[in-house]
Amino acid sequence: MPNLANPTVFLDLTRRALPWLVAVTAALFAVGLVLAFLAPPDYQQGETAKIMYLHVPAAWMATFVYGVMTLAALGTLVWRHPLADAAQKAAAPLGVGFTFICLGTGSLWGKPMWGTYWVWDARLTSVLVLFLLYLGIIALWRAIDDPGRAARAVAILTLVGVVNLPIIKFSVDWWNTLHQPDSVFRLGGPTIAPALLWPLIVMALAFTFLFFTLHLMAIRNEILRRRIARVTMLAASEGDALAPALAAEGT
């Protein structure tokens, strides 16, 4: 088992894995989109149901990414894993992207189906809270200069915000919402016809692979950022060591 805590080993593994991940992601998106556009129309929603092939995987990823960030927060606070805070920092902007797709496509589905772009429904509101939480986490990273303190503060905020995940999941059961209840991950199995379910599964896999690919790339960027900081500091200290000699020579 390679030591993934070692950034050099991690960079080497990333370099080898990325071409494969990119290829699998592109193939899954190609197959998923073809299946989605060949899928029959829904008997009630008609062709508008095609928006679901983007909206539902994006919604799953919005919560999944937060789950990954929660694990990374535990890695920072409990196990003090050297790459945990990099993983958390790298995941937050991706969470923003997936949550934005979820909210935007849901809104574009809501107008023709519900007659409105937005309602303050429990599911919609809790996903909006998730979106704001992602933005708050990114803002907190940028607000604290010391990377160690920033990582701990962000990890604590992430762990506090995890309470929103069960609220999102069960909001359709706990409250009388306009949003439809779960139709895939439910006791008793999915209620969607297989012809509509398969494109959804392939698109969900495509979104998952997209996240893992971009997450690895973004963690690699964080490692490079740290190396730049270290090399710049070393160069500055070498310059400081040289400064007295230069001053004595009057240069």
Partner 1 sequence: MSDLLADPHLGFIVAAYALGAVVIAAMIGSVTLDYRRLSAHLAEATRALESARDGTRGRQR
Q: Which is nearer to partner 1, 72 or 92 (CB)?
A: 92
Q: Is 159 exposed, middle or buried (0-12, 13-18, 19+ CB in 10 A)?
A: middle
Phi, psi for 122 (deg, rounded to 5): -60, -40
Considering the complex, what minimum distance in angstroms separates the CB of residue 225 from partner 1? 6
Q: Which is nearer to partner 1, 4 or 235 (CB)?
A: 235
Considering the complex, what minimum distance in angstroms separates the CB of residue 160 from partner 1? 26
Q: Which is nearer to partner 1, 127 or 214 (CB)?
A: 214
Nearest by Cα to 63 from 120, 118, 130: 130
Considering the complex, what minimum distance in angstroms separates the CB of residue 79 from partner 1? 26
Considering the complex, what minimum distance in angstroms separates the CB of residue 166 from partner 1? 26
Q: Which is nearer to partner 1, 8 or 221 (CB)?
A: 221
Q: Which is nearer to partner 1, 176 or 240 (CB)?
A: 240
Nearest by Cα to 126 from 184, 63, 73: 63
Considering the complex, what minimum distance in angstroms separates the CB of residue 55 from partner 1? 7
Q: Which is nearer to partner 1, 173 or 238 (CB)?
A: 238
Considering the complex, what minimum distance in angstroms separates the CB of residue 190 from partner 1? 22
Spatial separation of the C-alpha atoms in residues 108 and 126, rounded to whole Å: 18
Interacting residue ranges for partner 1, rule: CB under 8 A: 37, 41, 46-48, 50-51, 54-55, 58, 93-94, 97, 100-101, 104-105, 108-109, 111-112, 210, 214, 217-218, 220-221, 224-225, 227-228, 231-232, 234-235, 238-239, 241-242, 245
